Structure formats: C-alpha cells, structure tokens
Amino acid sequence: MWSGRTISAWSDSQRNLGAYTPGETVRLKDGTDFILQADGAYEWVSDTPFTRKNGKRIFYVAEIPPTFTLDNYKEVLGAEGIGQSFINSLTVTIPATVIPILIAAFAAYAFSWMEFPGRQILFAVVVGLLVVPLQMSLIPLLRLYNDVGQTFNVPGKSYPGIWLAHTGFGMPLAIYLLRNYIGSLPRDIIESAKIDGATHLDIFLRLVLPLSVPALASFAIFQFLWVWNDLLVALVFLGKASDQIVLTSKLRELLGSRGDNWEILTSSAFISILVPLGVFFALQRYFVRGLLAGSVKGG
C-alpha cells in the first residue's frame, strides 16, 4: 500500500506538519488518543463509543525512497516531432559554425600579415564588439534583416537569417582567437613563400590554413556549443513550425507553459548535450593547443 514510503512526522493540523513523531500517543481535542506508526498503520482509541460518521483527518510527512527509471528519457525521445527538431538543430548549427570560421580565418590572416591603413584601429573595433550584449543588438539586427528581406522579397523567418545572425555574433571572438594564433606563426615561412612568388591567397590556403587547424578546431567547439544550446536567437529568427523549430525550443514546449512537466528537464538536457559532447571529445586534442598557441609569442 505504501510502496516503501515511511512516515517521518505527522499532525492533526496542516500548519504544523512536524508536531508528532510516529508511534507517539497523542490526545486529540475530542478526548481520543491517536497513534500513527511509521508504516501507515494507526490506532484510534476512545473511552466512549464513536458517534462521528467520518474519520479523523491526519496530515503527515512521508519519506519516499528514490526509484531509478528510464521513463523520462522514453517520454522525451518518444515525443512527437523530437526527431525533426534534432535535424533542424543540425541544419542551423553546422552552417552557423562553418561560415564564421571561414570568414574569420580570412580576416585574421589580413590583420596578421597584410599591411593596410587603419589595421590596428579596425582590429580594436572588432575586439570591442566582444563586450556588446547579444540582447541589446537583437532588435536592431531583426529590423535590419526584415528591411532587407522586404527589399529582396526574402521570407522573414528562414534558415539564412539565423545563419547570418549567428555568424555576426560569433565573428568578433573568432577573429580575435584566430588572429592571435595566425600572428604567432613563424615569419620566416611567410616571407619565404613571398620570395618564391606566392600570393596572399596561396599563402593562406597552402600554409596558414593547414597550420591553423588547432585554432580552427578550438573555435569550432565554442561556436558549435553556443549555437546548439541557443534558444533566444532561434525564437527570434525562426518560427515554431515543424520544419523550423530547433531542439531547445522543442524541449521547452515539452515542459508546458507553466512548467508542469518539470521532471523531464534533466533527462532532456542530458539528451541535448550528447551531440556537443561528441564534438568536444572529437576535437579536444586540438582544444588546449589551439587556445594556448597564440598566447606566447616567440622572439
């Protein structure tokens, strides 16, 4: 009946649930004695015959032992549309990770090895963008995107929009990290390539990119984690249709509007983190090397 539950305290009033302990004899207001055991059995003793038709209302605190079950995981994995939302998240995350890496690598090479007016000032502006809060720039960015969409007859909420948004938000950090790494590459290699007649494009594609794999992988981990776990940008730039809703937004809907289904929160979070964990363990050998390589510059 009690399914392993044990009563730790009880009372005849809900205002003080811990008034009595199990097994304690308590004299009630009507002159009867009441004894409640830890297993739920009780004894109600009266010197006179009972005349009341209803029993006595008792409030108790029960200790319920934990049970281990996979029901929450089954509920999340079996939810309608969860597979499509997983694919939608990959559709958002993969391009939003690759695009800023490609653009930032070109920019980082230019800031490191190309001479042009205002290079240091422009780089300082890029670094300064790191302190701009995402929430503050969402509304102006959305207005600009809607204006451009109306001009070129592009749908208001689509994948290209969120790709560009994540690219813009990830570019300052990407340029900063890659510039520190690419700038620490040996100057002799770059100058030797120039002497041999290589152009900047040849140097970038044949020398800089292969040597910058650790830095590229390091930023790829950061960007993938950020985009995969994003909810705010997805709510702004994508709809809630089955072909657009991402995994984080879908899991939020499973909780209910008032958080009634809160018990699936931990299981859904564990399921959603499996892909980022796989990406991290696949690239972790480059992670520390890529972050630290540009921090100390040789003489």
Beta carbons of 110 and 183 less than 8 angstroms apart: no
- pLDDT of 37 reads 87
- pLDDT of 292 reads 54
Rounded-to-10 torsion of CA 164, 173, 123, 189: -110
Domain-wise residue ranges, the chain? 6-67, 73-293
CA dihedral over 163, 164, 170, 175, signed as positive or negative: positive
- pLDDT of 296 reads 47
- pLDDT of 136 reads 83
Beta carbons of 248 and 89 less than 8 angstroms apart: yes
Q: How far apart are CA 123 and CA 41, in angstroms?
A: 76
- pLDDT of 217 reads 87
- pLDDT of 297 reads 46
Rg (CA), the chain: 31
- pLDDT of 203 reads 92
- Per the document, the length of the chain is 299
Beta carbons of 92 and 246 less than 8 angstroms apart: yes
Give the helix/strand (H/E) hosting 4: none
Q: Which pLDDT tens digit goes with each residue over 173-224?
A: 899 989 988 988 888 888 888 888 889 899 999 889 988 888 898 889 889 9
Beta carbons of 32 and 12 less than 8 angstroms apart: no
Q: Which pLDDT tens digit goes with each residue over 283-295?
A: 877 766 655 554 4
Q: How far apart are CA 236 and CA 109, in angstroms?
A: 33
In one-letter notation, the amino acid at residue 112 is S
Beta bridge partners of 35: 25, 43
Show the DSSP H helices in the chain as ranges: 71-77, 82-113, 119-128, 134-151, 159-183, 187-195, 200-203, 209-211, 213-228, 232-237, 247-254, 265-272, 274-293
In one-letter notation, the amino acid at residue 256 is G
List the chain residues with pLDDT less than 70. Answer: 1-4, 52-53, 152-156, 256-260, 287-299
- pLDDT of 239 reads 79
| CA distances, 3 to each of 41, 60, 67, 68, 274 (Å) | 14, 16, 11, 14, 34
3-state secondary structure of 241: coil
Q: Which CATH number fits domain 73-293: 1.10.3720.10, 1.10.10.60, 3.30.70.20, 3.40.640.10?
A: 1.10.3720.10
- pLDDT of 294 reads 47
Q: How far apart are CA 267 and CA 46, in angstroms?
A: 51
- pLDDT of 91 reads 94
